[in-house]
Amino acid sequence: MHLDVQDLRNFYYRSALGRAAQASLRGRMQELWPEAQGQTVVGYGFAAPLLRPYLKDARRVMALMPGPQGVMPWPSGLPNVSVLTEETLWPIETGHVDKLVLLHGLETSERASDLLEECWRVLGPGGRALFIVPNRAGLWARRDRTPFGYGRPYSTGQLETQLRKHQFLPERHLGALYQVPSSRKVWMKSGPALERIGRRMPTFLAGGAFMVEATKLVYPPKGEVQRHRAIKPVSVLNPSAKPV
């Protein structure tokens, strides 16, 4: 079940809690990826709020939004880079993506396996993917007033197992959204302090969401590979028919 793009935009850009969530997720992502100089950066789902830091230096930035969700123009005041796409058929050539971010894409997909195969296809050699999903044991997954209360929440073990089945190698983990998912003033004021405390906690005690950075795993052929050079005669100049 995909959320509507209008609801996602209203949460992240027009609510105080959504802007706080955006800051938490973006800050944690930049700890892993501080820059993307000359690289191709792609976001899927509703990853647009996290991609703005890379607009300046990246070679190319794309915000892919699935058809059932809908699309909105982004970024504001700059040439549009958002694209409405079929969930498992992205308009990207194989192996051309250096950094891939999924936010509100995997947990809401009804074809998660096919989606991960598409992620594997577009990711280039040495590229990295960041999967951001709701934490099954977190408070945010229990509140349907935020986008993290929809879809299938994960535990770190569940997500890692699914990634390995699709030839991804989990590398690093981070937690995010440690503040209480409430717009009340008392919780909003304590949000920055809770975020600072949460970042010092072990990853398995993740907050409302956790991030798993993974690389594309390509298996080499088994056994000893031998190369044979086949020499074939050129038959272009040979007569093909008898003259009449």
| Number of Cβ atoms within 10 Å of the Cβ of 141 | 24
Q: Are strands 209-216 and 123-134 parallel, antiparallel or unpaired?
A: antiparallel
Counting every residue written for the chain, the total comes to 244
- Residue pair 158/133 in contact by the 8 Å Cβ criterion: no
For 82, residues 6+ apart whose C-beta sits below 8 A from its C-beta are: 48, 62, 63, 64, 65, 71, 72, 73, 74
- Residue pair 87/65 in contact by the 8 Å Cβ criterion: no
Per-residue pLDDT of the chain (244 residues; tens, 9 = 90+): 788 999 999 999 999 999 999 999 999 999 999 999 999 999 999 999 999 999 999 999 999 999 999 999 999 889 999 999 999 999 999 999 999 999 999 999 989 999 999 999 999 988 999 999 999 888 898 888 899 999 899 988 899 999 999 999 999 988 899 888 888 888 788 777 887 777 777 665 678 898 999 999 886 544 454 544 545 555 555 555 555 5
Per-residue pLDDT at 238: 54
Going 154 to 19 to 43 to 97, the CA torsion angle's sign is negative
Cβ density class 217-233: b for 16+ within 10 Å, e for less: eeeeeeeeeeeeeeeee
Thinking of the domain 5-216, which architecture would CATH place it in? 3-Layer(aba) Sandwich (3.40)
Per-residue pLDDT at 45: 95
Q: Which two tokens stand for residue 125?
A: 């050699």
This prediction has a pTM of 0.85
Q: Rounded to whole angstroms, how far apart are CA atoms 79 and 158?
A: 38
For 162, residues 6+ apart whose C-beta sits below 8 A from its C-beta are: 112, 116
Q: Rounded to whole angstroms, how far apart are CA atoms 169 and 175?
A: 18
Q: Which two tokens stand for residue 46?
A: 């509703």
Question: What residue segments make up the domains of the chain, in order of their start?
Answer: 5-216
For 43, residues 6+ apart whose C-beta sits below 8 A from its C-beta are: 50, 51, 61, 62, 63, 64, 100, 101, 102, 103
Single-letter code of the amino acid located at 50: L
Place of tokens 């800050």: 27
Closest CA to 168 of 130, 202, 132: 130
Per-residue pLDDT at 156: 87
Give the single-character DSSP code of 69: T
